[in-house]
Amino acid sequence: MAKTRDDLDPETLLVTGGRSPDPHVVNTPIYRASTHLYEDCAALRAGTKTNADGTFFYGRRGGPTQWALCEALAALEPGAEGTVLYPSGAAAIAGALLAVLSPGDVVLITDNVYETSRVIAGGILKRMGIEARYFDPLDTDGFARQFCDRTRAVLLESPGSLTMEICDIPALAATARSRSAAVLIDNTWASVAGFKSLSHGCDIAIEALTKHVGGHSDLMMGACTAGPEWYGKLRITAQEIGHVVSPDDAALALRGLRTLGVRLERETASALRIAEWLAGRSEVAEVLCPMLPGAPGHALWQRDYTGGCGLFSFVLADGYDDAARCRLIDALELFGIGYSWGGFESLATPVHALRTATRWPAERLAVRLSIGLENPGALIADLERGLAALKGA
Ligand SMILES: *Cc1c(COP(=O)(O)O)cnc(C)c1O
């Protein structure tokens, strides 16, 4: 059986958490959903009285494979009471917001939030009479002024999607907590391996397992991990909505989790090497990579994070237009062009930053890279080809 979370270091926990309860096999088998049969009517009735993982009741509440993944993820997050799984990262974000907010409430959202979170806020939350207000994540001092007596939650994301700003999470979380607002964070970039959300003052850690944990570009899943204050509410809300993930996907996510540490280490080292190379190129104005010394947010990243990943952006020098940016990306042969990231394969996309509380000038043209497990020298050669295509024929 897996040891408790306190005995083991995070690297070892990635390997031991949520292992099979059967000591003779390494992996928890894939238990498909199945109608559960009861001994008699009394047992059937008793089944409705408990609502705990580990007790079969009805397929929608999951089974041993999903519980193993939950156990493994929760073991990695100090302070966690448990983890709830969702069919996508977007569903995890919506699930967390719906668990903490009610009609009439205000939620403060970081201005560099993942675009789908903005869509959730402008759609279902708005229809429910919940107001979203966006704030500048780098204005730590001004943050307190954003609160009103209806503010019930804050949604952070660090580094911010596409533009990679690292915010002072402990400071923002402390301000939010002093105003009794729940602190949600989208921790997909670092994953639970690289940033411990609850230890840094957050209440609910949201992660798109689709990205790093899955790691092989072949599954969609999300997770919310929380302490005793919010775990039960998250779980009940997910049950009310009817969220359940497939046991096959849960087994794939568990398999991804086992190699998360080495994949992230390799991606981080490659990303850093590529970021350093890009920083020395005249075609590049700025590299937005928190792991790069001197890059924006590097000091906060060093202070609060234990790891990085392969996802970062770079800004083109003045004088290039969108057509040039597209030529760069289209010329790449090893980098695929596609959304998502965190897989074994490298990807490149143009950055379209949506802003309502801060400014990202339209002429600030950036490219986002997700560095995979290819040889970094080959990726640099590919980027060299891309930069050469900037000028056009
Ligand atoms: C991809 C992503 C999500 C959403 O995950 P899906 O599984 O694609 O729904 C959430 N947050 C961030 C930062 C992401 O990059």
The percentage of the chain sitting over the pLDDT mark of 90, rounded to a whole number, equals: 87
Of 243, 248, 222, 204, the residue nearest 97 (C-alpha): 204
The 284-288 sheet, strands edge to edge: 284-288, 311-316, 366-370, 347-350
Known active-site residue 114: yes
Known active-site residue 359: no
Is the beta carbon of 222 within 6 A of some atom in ligand 1? yes
Cα three-residue angle 309-311-315, rounded to 5 degrees: 140
The domain spans of the chain are: 10-258, 260-391
Q: pLDDT at residue 3 above 50?
A: no
Categorize the per-residue pLDDT at 2 as very low, low, confident or very high, splitting at 50, 70 and 90. Answer: very low
Categorize the per-residue pLDDT at 53 as very low, low, confident or very high, splitting at 50, 70 and 90. Answer: confident
How high is the mean pLDDT of the chain?
A: 95
Chosen CATH of 260-391 out of 3.90.1150.10, 1.20.1740.10, 3.50.20.10, 3.30.390.10: 3.90.1150.10
Is the beta carbon of 164 within 6 A of some atom in ligand 1? no
For the structural domain made of 10-258, what CATH number should be given? Answer: 3.40.640.10
Which whole number is the average pLDDT over 185-200? 98
Contact (CB, 8 A) for 387 and 283:
yes
Burial of 219 (0-12, 13-18, 19+ CB in 10 A): buried
Known active-site residue 203: no
Ligand 1: centre distance to CA 113 (Å): 10
Which whole number is the average pLDDT over 12-16? 93
Q: Which helix (H) or strand (E) holds 54?
A: none
Q: Which amino acid is at 362?
A: A
In sequence order, the 6+-apart residues with CB closer than 8 A to the CB of 393 are none
Q: pLDDT at residue 60 above 90?
A: no
Query: 85, 210, 340: which to mutate for ligand 1, most atoms within 8 A of CB?
Result: 210
Is the beta carbon of 89 within 6 A of some atom in ligand 1? yes
Q: Which helix (H) or strand (E) holds 358?
A: none
Categorize the per-residue pLDDT at 52 as very low, low, confident or very high, splitting at 50, 70 and 90. Answer: confident
Is the beta carbon of 161 within 6 A of some atom in ligand 1? yes
Distance CA 267, CA 271 (A): 6
Categorize the per-residue pLDDT at 57 as very low, low, confident or very high, splitting at 50, 70 and 90. Answer: confident
pLDDT tens for each residue of 336-363: 999 999 999 999 999 999 999 999 999 9
Contact (CB, 8 A) for 156 and 172:
yes
Catalytic residue selected from 111, 136, 168, 186: 186
pLDDT tens for each residue of 66-98: 999 999 999 999 999 999 999 999 999 999 999
Categorize the per-residue pLDDT at 6 as very low, low, confident or very high, splitting at 50, 70 and 90. Answer: low
Ligand 1: centre distance to CA 157 (Å): 11
Contact (CB, 8 A) for 145 and 174:
no
Known active-site residue 196: no
Q: pLDDT at residue 285 above 70?
A: yes
Q: pLDDT at residue 112 above 60?
A: yes
Q: How high is the pLDDT of residue 392?
A: 81
Which whole number is the average pLDDT over 234-258? 96
Q: pLDDT at residue 1 above 70?
A: no
Catalytic residue selected from 60, 303, 355, 391: 60
Which whole number is the average pLDDT over 120-149? 98
* Range name among 25-29, 110-114, 382-386 with the lowest pLDDT average: 25-29
Which whole number is the average pLDDT over 192-212? 98
